[in-house]
Structures are given as C-alpha cells and as structure tokens.
Amino acid sequence: MSVFTKVSPQELAQWLQNYAVGDLVDLRGIAAGIENTNYFVTTSAGRYVLTLFEKLTAAELPFYLNLMAHLARHAIPCPAPVANREGALLGELAGRPATLVTRLEGHPVSRPSAQHCAAVGAMLARMHLAGASYGANQENPRGARWWRETAPKVAAFLDAARAALLDSELEFQFGRRTEALPRGPIHADLFRDNVLFLQQPGPPRLEGVLDFYFAGVDALLFDVAVAVNDWCIDERGEIDATCARAMFGAYVRGRPFSPAERDAWQAMLRAAALRFWLSRLYDFYCPRPGELTHAHDPEHFRRILELRRAGVCPLQ
C-alpha cells in the first residue's frame, strides 16, 4: 500500500540521535505493507528500515521485536531491531510506536524452484530450533481462538455452499487434538513475499525472512503447512510434489518430524488454508472504516482448502 504516517528528514535526523547509527543520509517511503508505515533509511553507518506501527501497540510489540532480536542472535537472517542508546528496541516517532531494523539484501521470488523451496525448508527448521529458547509466549494471533471469533462475522456474506464448507472445516478443526504436536514460536505468514533471495550464479541464497508481525506460539507444523500452501503449489493450487519433497527434505535435516506430526499433516494443511481463507474473507467483507487495504481474493484459499480436503500430500 503506502506510507501512512509522514516523517520528515529533520524529524528523523533528530530521532536518530538516540541511536548509534551515525548521520541520516537518505529517507524514502516504501510502497508496501498495509499494517505499518515503512521507510528505507540510509545513514553514514548503514542501511536500515524504519517501521511505524499503525495498529500494533507498544504493549503488543515487545513479543515481536524480542523474537526478531532473539532469532538474529541465533544467526537467523531476519531484520534485527537496532537498540537505541538506552538499550530499548522500541521507540516512538511521529506519535507512533517505532523501531529501526537492519535492512536485508535480496528480493522475493515469484516463481520458486525446488531449490528455493529447499532453502525455505532449511531456514524454517533453523528458525524453529532457534526459537525453542525464546522465553516469551504469545498465542498465534490468527489461531483457533481468532477463527472462532471471526467465522460468525463473515458467515452472513457467504453463499450456502461456502457457508457449509466453512462450518464443516471449523467443526473438523475444532475436533482435532493438537497437544502432542511440538510447539514454539512460529512465523505463521511465510509467504513468498516475505522471503528474500540473492540473485547470483549457483544455488539460490536465502538472505532474509521478513514480517514477523503475525508470529505467535503454536504448532511448528503449522508454519510448514503455511509455507507449503504458498511455495509448493502449481497454478491450480495443487501441491507440486517435487517442490514439497524439496522443502520437507531440507526441513527434516534440521528438525525431523515426530510421528504425531506425520499423522496431523493433512489436517494441518487444511488448517493453514482455512486461516488465510478466513482472514481474506474478513478483510474483504469487513474492512475497518477508512482503512486502506488491497484485499486479496478470498477464493484462492477456498480452492486451496477444497483441494487439501480432497487430496493427499504425504509428509516426506
């Protein structure tokens, strides 16, 4: 989308005095993101991204910022929040909670190969291993509790077939037992847009994972399912077995799946499809007043959900 909150170079230069990042050289708005305002910031010391939070509050942000700092400390290539001179990761600028993070190199890949999928699987396993020692806890903000709240709000807008599909899937998902699944901090939104690769000769090099603002503690397998539903599909939404095998193969080298996870896999793929169908329905039918949004077509994830209910994708 675009920049919501304006920050002038003068205002930013003043604010940066509270950081050890040198002098402001360049500031430019980033035309992406619908939840935050983002700027590229160049200083005499390096390249950063400034994020002003439009929805998340100063009380909610420590979970996300500390998680990113924790993962960066474990060599996960994510934006690392820069501490200010008092040691805080979160500041305030232009009346918004604001943070400065390191800027990563690379670009998203729109048509990923099996090699890209393998790189994502390997990184995701590393992220799950590193996350295990993260101390803070926050429920997945788009998890089962949110589904239960949100489904009634969108149900009225659906035709009979879609309403029945939603009912049926929610009933199935709420009937599952998930206690046996390994849990930990998950990214929960690992779409192609959120991973940066370096263009170079040889195998693709994954340089960054972005946007941790849907992260929460949940089944690790949910992260894998979200990624497979976006990275490893053909144009109809069917799972591309070569890409999926590449992702699984790379993932299990870092963290092998448990028997409970293998049992839960098919249902988890459905849960991951449901989560995005539901949020897209919500954004589409229930936009908040005055909100800038570019609602994605909810139908894409309805089709994915139908396919996952019908199909079989072995976790191997």
- Which residues of the shown chain bind its own copies in the complex (CB under 8 A)? 19-23, 44-46, 48, 69-70, 72-77, 80, 82-83, 85-87, 102, 122-123, 126-127, 129-130, 132-133, 253-254
Output the DSSP codes for 47-101. Answer: EEEEEEESSS-TTTHHHHHHHHHHHHHTT--SPPBPP-TTS-S-EEETTEEEEEE
Query: Measured from the CB atom, is 119 or 278 closer to its own copies?
Result: 119
| Least distance in angstroms from the C-beta of 27 to its own copies | 17
When the beta carbons of 70 and 142 are compared against its own copies, the nearer one is: 70
CA distance 199 to 107: 8
Kindly report the length of the chain: 316
73: number of CA atoms within 13 Å, CB side?
Answer: 11
Closest C-alpha to 99, from 133, 53, 145, 142: 53
Nearer to its own copies, 23 or 297 (CB): 23
Compute the least distance from the CB of residue 18 to its own copies, in Å. Answer: 10
User: Least Å distance between CB 227 and its own copies?
Assistant: 17
| Shortest reach from residue 182's CB to its own copies, in Å | 14
Residue 299 CB, nearest distance to its own copies (Å)?
37
Q: Which is nearer to its own copies, 83 or 94 (CB)?
A: 83
The HSE-up count of residue 46 (CA atoms within 13 Å, CB side) is 13
* 3-state SS, residue 169: helix
Nearer to its own copies, 56 or 72 (CB): 72
